Amino acid sequence: MTNQDTAVRAEGLVKHFKDTKAVDGVDLVVPAGTVYGVLGPNGAGKTTTVRMLATLLRPDAGSATVFGRDVVADPAAVRSQVSLTGQYASLDEDLTGLENLVLLSRLYGFGKAAARSRAEDLLEAFGLTAAAGKQVKGYSGGMRRRLDIAASIIITPKLLFLDEPTTGLDPRSRGQVWDVIRTIVAEGTTVLLTTQYLEEADQLAGRIAVIDTGKVIAEGTPGELKSAVGAGSIRLRLHHADQRDHARTVLAEALGAEVELDDDPVALTATLKPGEDTASQGSHALGELSRSGILVDDFSLGQPSLDEVFLALTDKVDA
Amino acid sequence: MAFTETKTKSDQESLAQIEKERLRGLLAAGERPQAPSPLAAARAFGWRAMLKIKHVPEQLFDIVLFPIMMLLMFTYLFGGAIAGGTGDYLQFLLPGIMVMSIVMTTMYTGMGVNIDIQKGVSDRFKTLPIWRAAPMVGYLLADAFRYAAAGAIMFGTGMVMGYRPSGGPDGVLLGVVLLLVFCFAFSWIWTWIGLIARSEKTVMSISMSILFPLTFLSNVMVDPSTMPGWLQPVVNNTPITQLVDGVRGLFDGAVDSGAVVTTLLWSAGFIAVFGFLTIRAYNRK
């Protein structure tokens, strides 16, 4: 791949903080023009990795380039191509939304009038016009996020880092942020997204790197990762607790799968067989249950959770 | 009533949709103005600091009330004991107490720098194509405005209380300028501490433990010749004593050029050493 096809190429990135190795040899190749997901729990090293790629931290070892420019040797060139929306909104809380964007536009070099019109246009595009004159300290989490992302595209970046853009947001705000990310990518900007949610990576990312204790433990398309982990699970809540043992037998026969009883006396979970169609396994299981006269209050067909992905992947590493 | 209000608000919220078409247009425009000059960047940060004063005017209490309090307290509390009368003492005290109160408020700069780091704003500033020192210089420019305001307030209060400068308007103006130059230079200590300290509280306690001895062990309140012999050389050579000698001389119309030059040398030294440390710490963070 040439420089223009590869947005990020990182090899063996390492960063220590005192005694802890926050990042312990991370390799990444992010193709240009896509959303690339970095998935991992708190403390896995996601933020540290992103900060090194965005030239905010100097790696202790290893190297990284952004569109062919080295993050250590040529940070100014990297900075001119990237934008970062950090985990905590990097805005001045005392200032209003409009003032924040005007200030940053001025700092990007826009003249007074141009800065103001750019700021107003961005507020409008992000549905923040009504709050333009309010101090950011009074903004909701979703509004802050939107303003923060707006600040990141004052100049259209070639690569946008979004560090956990939806952590702590309500579902509606999360949907809005996803819409924004899709629009940004459709216009040609590469997005490197970190997240704790498999669902989010699945919805948005073309490729995902799973990172844990400072190392990439798996990499691939969402489909590849999921099939490596299993096909997910069925979770049931029954109407009568005394039907649970019966239900367990029925499910085990119908699916040929492992069925676990939950702590909740009316709930049980069946792990689906990997490689087979999840939806048809689900409807088959439901059919068998109703034929056996078992009353089901609640039925959910879940993708593997991040926990399951991790358990599966870390098991593999140990073996 | 409350119910209606809530409903109106959520209606408004749901109207606030992301406008994808508009967003697309903004992204596609791809405008890239030239990076701002160091001066323009520093001015933008100065503007930011002024906006903060506008939105959080409470922060002005410190710089308005503190100096007036100091002036009133020391004049009427100690004037009689130290100089045998408040009038004479005010004549001696005003330049010094002005230096003391304003130098003490310089520590707020360090706290501001530290808060920016805690809140993540400085991450944003660091990824901008600007002169690296611009955020600090912007802070210091706005602070210079605050110091000038504090100086004017103290001088005005002093005049009301009966202070008369023999140095005339020129002397007073030059004295204040000397004080501002020193404060600008001295503040680089706090920008550095603001960058390396863990929290704003740490910044405050470090600043206090430097500022208190530094300003009290000086000729602000009393003539150093009344101090024990071993202490005199120390007190006479601190930057604050030199600054007070310089400002007092200019106010009184008896210019102590030695003290003025020494003060300017100290200022240059502070900028060289702590400006360097500040920028280094800023780049490393």
Q: What part of A 53-82 touches B (C-beta under 8 Å)?
A: 54-56, 58, 76, 79-80, 82
Q: Are residues A247 and A217 in the same domain?
A: no
Least confident range of A268-282, B71-85, B137-151: A268-282
Least confident range of A83-87, A228-232, A314-318, B246-250: A314-318
Q: How far is residue B41's CA from residue B130's CA, in Å, rounded to a whole number?
A: 7
At B202, the pLDDT band (50, 70, 90 cuts) reads very high
**Is the CB of residue B1 less than 8 Å away from at least one CB of chain A?**
no
* Residue listed under structure tokens 């309010």: A134
Q: Are residues A170 and A207 in the same domain?
A: yes
pLDDT above 80 (res A170) = yes
Is A311 domain-assigned? no
CATH number at residue A285: 3.30.70.100
Q: Are residues A103 and A236 in the same domain?
A: no
pLDDT at B238: 92
pLDDT above 60 (res B9) = no
Q: Are residues A200 and A104 in the same domain?
A: yes
Q: Which is more confidently placed, A150 or A41?
A: A150
**Is the CB of residue A114 less than 8 Å away from at least one CB of chain B?**
yes
At B5, the pLDDT band (50, 70, 90 cuts) reads very low
Query: For A35, phi and psi rounded to 5 degrees?
Result: -100, 125
The DSSP-derived string for chain B is -HHHHHHHHHHHHHH----HHHHHHHHHH---PPPPPHHHHHHHHHHHHHHHHHH-TTHHHHHHHHHHHHHHHHHHHHHHHHHSSHHHHHHHHHHHHHHHHHHHHTHHHHHHHHHHHHHTHHHHHHTSSS-TTHHHHHHHHHHHHHHHHHHHHHHHHHHHHT---TTHHHHHHHHHHHHHHHHHHHHHHHHHHHHHSSSHHHHHHHHHHHHHHHHHSSSSSS-GGGS-TTTHHHHHTSHHHHHHHHHHHHHHT---HHHHHHHHHHHHHHIIIIIHHHHHHHHH-
From residue A297, how far is each of A259, A266, A267, A300, B119 by CA, in Å? 18, 9, 10, 10, 46
Q: How far is residue B237's CA from residue B212's CA, in Å, rounded to a whole number?
A: 16
pLDDT above 90 (res A31) = yes
The last residue of one of the domains, among A178, A198, A227, is A227
Q: Report the pLDDT averaged over residues A88-113.
A: 91
Instruction: Read off the pLDDT of residues B54-103 as tens digits, 9 standing for 90 and up.
Output: 898 887 777 778 888 888 988 888 888 887 888 888 998 999 999 998 99
pLDDT at B6: 43
Query: For A64, phi and psi rounded to 5 degrees?
Result: -150, 145
At B4, the pLDDT band (50, 70, 90 cuts) reads very low
pLDDT above 80 (res A241) = yes
Residue A311: enclosing H or E segment and its boundaries? helix A306-318
Is A313 domain-assigned? no
The last residue of one of the domains, among A227, A260, A288, is A227
Q: Are residues A200 and A241 in the same domain?
A: no
Q: Which of the residues B10, B12, B23 would you substitute to probe the A interface, choosing the one with the greatest number of A C-beta atoms within 10 Å?
A: B23
Is A308 domain-assigned? no
DSSP letter assigned to residue A162: E
Least confident range of A94-98, A116-120, A219-223: A219-223
Category of A280 on φ-ψ map: left (φ > 0), alpha (ψ -120 to 50) or beta: alpha
**Is the CB of residue A112 less than 8 Å away from at least one CB of chain B?**
no
From residue A173, how far is each of A90, A146, B254 by CA, in Å? 18, 9, 68
The last residue of one of the domains, among A207, A227, A247, is A227
At B16, the pLDDT band (50, 70, 90 cuts) reads low
State which amino acid sits at residue A234: I
Indicate the pairing of strand A215-220 with strand A267-271. unpaired
What is the layout of strands, in order, in the sheet containing A69-70?
Answer: A20-31, A6-17, A61-66, A69-70
pLDDT at A319: 42
CA B130 to chain centre: 23
At A300, the pLDDT band (50, 70, 90 cuts) reads confident
Q: Are residues A163 and A250 in the same domain?
A: no
Q: Report the pLDDT averaged over residues A160-166.
A: 92
Question: Contact at 8 Å (CB) between B139 and B112?
Answer: yes
At B12, the pLDDT band (50, 70, 90 cuts) reads very low
Q: How far is residue A157's CA from residue B127's CA, in Å, rounded to a whole number?
A: 12
- The whole domain housing A192 covers 6-227
Q: Are residues A206 and A286 in the same domain?
A: no
Q: Are residues A84 and A120 in the same domain?
A: yes
Q: How far is residue B259's CA from residue B264's CA, in Å, rounded to a whole number?
A: 9
pLDDT above 80 (res B190) = yes
Q: How far is residue B185's CA from residue B178's CA, in Å, rounded to a whole number?
A: 11
Q: Which residues of A touch B130 (CB under 8 A)?
A: 107
From residue A259, how far is each of A254, A303, B187, B245 by CA, in Å? 11, 16, 67, 86
Is A97 domain-assigned? yes
**CB half-sphere exposure, A233, CA atoms < 13 A:** 18
Is A242 domain-assigned? yes
Residue A318, burial from CB neighbour count under 10 angstroms (0-12, 13-18, 19+): exposed
At B189, the pLDDT band (50, 70, 90 cuts) reads very high
Residue among A155, A105, A90, A81 nearest B36 (CA): A105
8 Å CB contact of B33 and A153: no
Is A319 domain-assigned? no
Per the structure, the count of domains in chain A is 2
8 Å CB contact of B123 and A86: yes
Q: Are residues A45 and A137 in the same domain?
A: yes
Question: Contact at 8 Å (CB) between B124 and A90?
Answer: yes
Q: How far is residue A162's CA from residue B159's CA, in Å, rounded to a whole number?
A: 57
The pair of three-digit structure tokens given for residue B237, joined into one six-digit string: 């050579």
The pair of three-digit structure tokens given for residue A63, joined into one six-digit string: 């190297």
Least confident range of A126-135, A165-174, A218-227, B41-50: A218-227
- Sequence spans of domains, chain B: 37-284
8 Å CB contact of B23 and A127: no
8 Å CB contact of A94 and B36: no
Query: For A268, phi and psi rounded to 5 degrees?
Result: -150, 155
At A280, the pLDDT band (50, 70, 90 cuts) reads confident
Question: Contact at 8 Å (CB) between B45 and B134?
Answer: yes
Instruction: Read off the pLDDT of residues B105-132 as tens digits, 9 standing for 90 and up.
Output: 888 888 888 888 888 888 888 888 888 8
At B158, the pLDDT band (50, 70, 90 cuts) reads very high
Q: Are residues A108 and A144 in the same domain?
A: yes
pLDDT above 80 (res A4) = no
Question: Contact at 8 Å (CB) between A266 and A237?
Answer: yes
